[in-house]
């Protein structure tokens, strides 16, 4: 209550305050028949008794007629609630304030929706009236928790470990590879700035400049169009260090998260477990495994290798052929035929992968189209390999290793959702399972042209120390010093040890990625002036906080987010500008025909 004219907030009065005269400010949340109202501010609720005597008739009239969500000032005396009328669900439930004077500071017009957490509101309305949505206790709690976490992170990095908080430019130039960047026109004809998708180059240059330890709560921008639960502008906890290895970065981040973790969400144990990219793909079908539950992918190639099943033998004849399966516990009880059909269809439509099902009957025998091709010994080995129990359902896939694993990994998550929807508790909603994924490939084939390569992380990532020679002889087989931090199946951070040799950086850009290194000449030149070995990481703050508070979307932990299509529905951005405003930037808009007609009308 420092610097303001209230004596107390609406959430702090208790029985110890009885008899005190207080002044409260807040919003009218509820009013009942001119007898009392509930006043709300950022900290909580207080019940205010409206006076009924003639001497205070003007106060009664004022408070009785105040529309909900109007801002009022109330001065009165704290009193105990009458016996039996206490409300144990409210922190202030033992007291009430008997109003003596009041003032309506701002009346509220008809609301587009009620300011109550349990009232369902459309996403569009919430975005359009974000300033009203921000009054909800859920959003207030999330934003305040976010602020506390960031403050603790600053304390850990700057005060305890000597990091320097540096702001890097927002206007820069286009970076080759990676996500699409927003362009900003300049007054020089044909020249554009680019909004950085991360401060990657600047933080490396800070290491060349000898700052040793850098961090920033960085705003980043990616023009990714309509992608679910992504934002065109987002926030990273950006970190870079000199003379560090992968283990050093991992220890730093584990300590940072342990120090800043909110007490109300329990404690987290360190060190976090680690898994290679190949292990993650083989066991979970993804590079961001949710390790809160089992149902791991099992390799059953050897079990079925001796069978005469055509599709099995066909799959195993390929160099990377594989037969794998997942076992869904109590699938017979919890999954319908429609569910199983939708799982198969999903694998077919997303991965072009056929799925075969096997059911374990109550007598322990197997029901499947496969069983007539399998002897008793093979069936027994299959049950043992998959640890099948009565009532389990197995989904089996055969084909190229990566495709099979990716398909089964997606089915594993879809099955978990179906099991939980049917009432089986599978993933503990209060559990936080962190995991490091390491030893990623340095390069991957481009989706649009598999004969060309792109960086699996970014072009500044150093090769694994054991694979440096492979970078020059067979770059497709080289592993990288790239590491991701995963939480409950979501990537919340990613980083790498960087290339600090100008020669190696130029080779990666020109020979492997076939990029014009001239675009990055400033960085390559900097590496020639005694660049120290360095590495870093960026934590996705929005995603991390959304997982901590169990928010359904990252939009629920950002004060003013963009919509699914990247629009600001409240301020109607992006918006048109006039030709006169574009003239200094040497830009003319070429309108599609239908928009030309719309603008005429």
Query: 585-600 burial string, b = 16+ CB within 10 Å, else e?
Result: beeeeeeeeeeeeeee
Looking at the predicted structure, is the pLDDT value of residue 595 above 80?
no
Residue 335 — pLDDT band, cuts 50, 70, 90?
very high
User: Given pLDDT bands bounded at 50, 70 and 90, which one contains residue 103?
Assistant: very high
List of long-range contacts for 333-342, beta carbons under 8 Å, 24+ apart: 333/391, 334/418, 334/419, 334/422, 334/423, 334/424, 335/393, 335/415, 335/418, 335/419, 335/422, 339/418, 340/393, 342/414
Instruction: Give me the pLDDT at residue 14, please.
Output: 97
**Residue 297 DSSP class:** -
Report pLDDT digits (tens) over 30-44.
Answer: 999 999 999 999 999
| CATH code for residues 141-275+434-556 | 3.30.930.10
CATH 3.10.310.10 fits 15-106, yes or no: no
pLDDT over 80 at 594, yes or no: no
Q: What 3-state class would DSSP assign to 555?
A: helix
Looking at the predicted structure, is the pLDDT value of residue 541 above 80? Answer: yes
Identify any residues that bridge with 322 across adjacent strands, giving them in sequence order.
399
Name which of 63-67, 541-545, 587-591 the model is least confident about.
587-591
- Look up tokens 């830009």; give the residue: 587
Question: Which helix (H) or strand (E) is 73 found in, with range?
Answer: strand 71-80
Instruction: Give the residue, 290 or 176, on which the prediction is more confident.
Output: 290
- How high is the mean pLDDT of the chain? 94
Of 274-278, 339-343, 595-599, least confident by mean pLDDT is: 595-599
State the Cα–Cα distance between residues 35 and 422, nearest whole angstrom.
46
Residue 395's nearest CA partner among 426, 372, 416 is 416
Q: Is the pLDDT of residue 225 over 70?
A: no
- How far apart, in whole angstroms, are the C-alpha atoms of residue 494 and residue 178? 14
Pairing between β-strand 164-165 and β-strand 213-221 as defined by DSSP bridges: parallel
Would you state the pLDDT for residue 276? Answer: 98
Euclidean distance between CA atoms 358 and 366, whole angstroms = 7
The string over 92-102, giving b where at least 16 C-beta atoms fall within 10 Å of a residue's C-beta and e elsewhere, is bbbbbbebeeb
Domains of the chain by residue range: 15-106, 141-275+434-556, 293-422
- Give the per-residue pLDDT at 599: 61
181 touches 221 (CB < 8 A) = yes
Measured distance CA(234)–CA(221) in Å, rounded? 7
Which of 450, 454, 456, 452 is closest to 437 using CA atoms? 456
**Residue 296: is its pLDDT beyond 80?**
yes
| pTM for the predicted model, two decimal places | 0.93
What CATH architecture is 293-422?
Answer: 2-Layer Sandwich (3.30)
Residue 262: in which H helix or E strand, if any?
none
């Amino acid at each position: 209550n420092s610097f303001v004219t209230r004596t107390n907030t609406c959430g702090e009065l208790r029985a110890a305050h009885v008899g005190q005269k207080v002044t409260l400010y807040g919003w009218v949340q509820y009013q009942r028949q001119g007898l009392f109202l509930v006043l709300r501010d950022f900290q909580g609720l207080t019940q205010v008794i409206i006076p009924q005597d003639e001497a205070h008739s003007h106060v009664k009239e004022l408070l009785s007629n105040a529309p909900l969500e109007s801002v009022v000032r109330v001065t009165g005396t704290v009193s105990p609630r009458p016996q039996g009328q206490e409300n144990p669900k409210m922190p202030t439930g033992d007291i009430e304030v008997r109003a003596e004077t009041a003032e309506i500071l701002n009346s509220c017009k008809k609301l587009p929706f009620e300011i109550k957490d349990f009232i369902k509101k459309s996403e569009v309305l919430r975005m359009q009236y974000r300033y009203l949505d921000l009054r909800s206790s859920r959003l207030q709690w999330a934003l305040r928790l976010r602020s506390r976490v960031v403050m603790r992170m600053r304390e850990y990095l700057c005060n305890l470990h000597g990091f320097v908080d540096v702001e890097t430019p927002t206007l820069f130039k286009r970076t080759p590879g990676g996500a699409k960047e927003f362009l900003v026109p300049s007054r020089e004809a044909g020249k554009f700035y680019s909004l950085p998708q991360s401060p990657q180059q600047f933080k490396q240059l800070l290491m060349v400049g000898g700052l040793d330890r850098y961090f920033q709560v960085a705003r980043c921008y990616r023009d990714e169009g309509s992608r679910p639960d992504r934002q065109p502008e987002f926030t990273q906890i950006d970190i870079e260090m000199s003379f560090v290895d992968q283990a050093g970065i991992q220890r730093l981040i584990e300590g940072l998260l342990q120090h800043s973790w909110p007490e109300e969400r329990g404690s987290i144990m360190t060190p976090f477990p680690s898994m290679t990219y190949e292990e993650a793909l083989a066991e979970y079908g993804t590079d961001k495994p949710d390790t809160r539950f089992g149902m791991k992918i099992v390799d059953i190639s050897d079990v079925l290798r001796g069978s005469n099943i055509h599709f099995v033998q066909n799959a195993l004849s390929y160099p990377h052929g594989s037969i794998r399966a997942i076992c869904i516990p109590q699938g017979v009880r919890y999954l319908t035929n429609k569910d199983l059909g939708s799982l198969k269809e999903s694998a077919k439509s997303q991965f072009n992968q056929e799925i075969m099902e096997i059911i374990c009957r109550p007598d322990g025998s197997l029901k499947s189209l496969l069983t007539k091709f399998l002897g008793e010994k093979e069936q027994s080995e299959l049950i043992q390999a998959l640890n099948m129990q009565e009532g389990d359902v197995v989904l089996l896939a055969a084909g190229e290793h990566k495709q099979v694993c990716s398909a089964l990994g997606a089915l594993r998550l879809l099955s978990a959702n179906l099991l939980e929807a049917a009432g089986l508790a599978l993933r503990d909603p209060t559990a936080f399972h962190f995991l490091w994924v390491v030893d990623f490939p340095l390069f991957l084939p481009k989706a649009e042209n598999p004969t060309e390569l792109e960086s699996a992380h970014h072009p500044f990532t150093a090769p694994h120390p054991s694979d440096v020679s492979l970078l020059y002889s067979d770059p497709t087989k080289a592993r990288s010093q790239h590491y991701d931090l995963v939480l409950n199946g979501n990537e919340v951070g990613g980083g790498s040890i960087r290339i600090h040799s100008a020669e190696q950086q130029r080779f990666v850009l020109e020979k492997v990625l076939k990029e014009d290194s001239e675009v990055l000449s400033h960085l390559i030149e900097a590496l020639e002036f005694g660049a120290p070995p360095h590495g870093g990481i960026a934590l996705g703050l929005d995603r991390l906080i959304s997982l901590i508070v169990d928010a359904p979307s990252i939009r629920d932990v950002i004060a003013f987010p963009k919509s699914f299509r990247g629009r600001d529905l409240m301020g109607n951005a992006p918006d048109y500008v006039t030709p006169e405003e574009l003239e200094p930037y040497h830009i003319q808009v070429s309108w599609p025909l239908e928009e030309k007609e719309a603008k005429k009308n």
